[in-house]
Amino acid sequence: MRIGIVCPYSWDVPGGVQFHIRDLAEYFIRLGHEVSVLAPADDDTPLPPYVVSAGRAVPVPYNGSVARLNFGFLSAARVRRWLHEGAFDVIHIHEPTSPSLGLLTCWAARGPIVATFHTSNPRSRAMIAAYSILQAALEKISARIAVSEYARRTLVEHLGGDAVVIPNGVDVDFFAKAEPKAEWQGETIGFIGRIDEPRKGLPVLMKALPKILAARPRARLLVAGRGDEEEAVESLPAELRSRVEFLGMVSDEDKARFLRSVDLYVAPNTGGESFGIILVEAMSAGAPVLASDLDAFAQVLDRGEAGELFPNEDADALADAAVRLLGDPGRRAELRERGSAHVRRFDWATVGADILSVYETVTAGAAAVAEDERTTGLWGRLGLARD
């Protein structure tokens, strides 16, 4: 099958959606499909052979922050050329509601279009204003995928219609087979995420830490992620600061070894999560997980069956649960076991097959993807295009 995938965010900036697309593309290539990914990238960044650059993304203020987006005449032309040269059986657009490549492709293409909605953005003001234009483009999507039941609910609320739920994929064995590192073992609590991004919840963990360290005198906190380390430990009493270790940004291999080594993985995120891939990675590596009870997290953890949940932003509850888990090896072993079994449904073997099922469902009997002349050419707009 000839598959075209559209990535809305810059390929050179690491991020969840980019990694998902990379793994998905490589999975399909291994199965023998032809895959081309269209992504924003600087023209001089080295790209894997299957990625086509759609030009540089432009930073613009959008939806309350600065987003790097692709739009305008040049990007639209590149999208059309990619569609034309690719002659795809199906195209898979990620994040079609962001005003970037996804929307441009929706606008310019016709034929079987699959779209994955990753985030669960509330409808923005701009989207309401552009609603009729957006609706006309989104109507062309033949199959919608939401990454979680939670994301599906928001999607249905804001755009109507329905979607199938297919979770994000993880290479489970990559994590399950990583070698633990001795220096990261021994009553260690792990945290991975941006240090200076409050929504990742490190401040909540820092607030809970004195209580945890008081009850477990040998415990240590290991933090992997970018950000200002001084600022992160500011709220902590000086004598406890030595028990927090910062590892900075870690490679994929070290991340897997990190998750294999820690005795407890804590995800204190306070919001803005639509899936929680890190929890799946932690469970794959066999780390017992303690997470805030966000909708998305609760679902990934099977309502608390595969990992423990604490009330969101409640540092006391987090501390109590962490102390209890660190003192109960039996319970941790149980969580490891349940997590490892539960996580198989997120393996690429399952997720990739499901996504392929979606492709096959929408391409059955349908013509291949083509440029939509009705909306792109002047003749089309005048109603003179040959159909």
* 153 counts as binding other proteins under rule CB under 8 A: no
To other proteins, the closest distance from the beta carbon of 365 in angstroms equals 5
To other proteins, the closest distance from the beta carbon of 53 in angstroms equals 30
- Nearest CA to 175 out of 19, 282, 59, 69 is that of 282
* 182 counts as binding other proteins under rule CB under 8 A: no
* 235 counts as binding other proteins under rule CB under 8 A: no
- Phi, psi for residue 163 in degrees, rounded to 5: -150, 155
* 303 counts as binding other proteins under rule CB under 8 A: no
Residue whose CB is less far from other proteins, 128 or 366? 366
Instruction: Determine the distance from the C-alpha atom of residue 128 to the mean position of all C-alpha atoms in its chain, rounded to a whole number.
Output: 25
Q: How crowded is residue 31: how many other Cβ atoms within 10 Å of its Cβ?
A: 12
Count the residues of the shown chain that bind other proteins, applying the rule CB under 8 A. Answer: 31
115, 102 contact by CB (below 8 A)? yes
3-class state of residue 365 by DSSP? coil
Rounded Cα distance between 293 and 74, Å, is: 44
> Of these, 61, 217, 330, 365, which contacts other proteins (CB under 8 A)?
365
Residue whose CB is less far from other proteins, 154 or 292? 154
The interface region with other proteins, picked from 17-25, 176-184, 229-237, 352-360 by CB under 8 A, is 352-360
- Phi, psi for residue 213 in degrees, rounded to 5: -70, -30
> Of these, 30, 177, 194, 345, which contacts other proteins (CB under 8 A)?
345
> Of these, 90, 163, 170, 280, which contacts other proteins (CB under 8 A)?
163
What is the DSSP code (8-state) at residue 37?
A: E
To other proteins, the closest distance from the beta carbon of 12 in angstroms equals 34
> Of these, 124, 142, 270, 299, which contacts other proteins (CB under 8 A)?
142
- Phi, psi for residue 92 in degrees, rounded to 5: -120, 110
To other proteins, the closest distance from the beta carbon of 138 in angstroms equals 8
- The H-assigned helical ranges of the chain are 16-30, 72-86, 101-108, 125-129, 131-138, 149-159, 172-176, 202-215, 229-232, 252-261, 277-284, 295-300, 315-326, 329-342, 348-363, 373-376, 378-381
Q: Please give the residues from 102 up to 141 whose contact with other proteins meets the rule CB under 8 A.
A: 110, 112, 136, 139-140
> Of these, 32, 43, 49, 162, which contacts other proteins (CB under 8 A)?
162
* 299 counts as binding other proteins under rule CB under 8 A: no
* 336 counts as binding other proteins under rule CB under 8 A: no
What sign does the CA torsion over 227, 231, 233, 235 have? negative
- Phi, psi for residue 154 in degrees, rounded to 5: -65, -40
* 92 counts as binding other proteins under rule CB under 8 A: no
Site residues for other proteins per CB under 8 A = 110, 112, 136, 139-140, 142-144, 160-164, 341-342, 344-345, 350, 354, 357-358, 360-362, 364-366, 374, 381-383
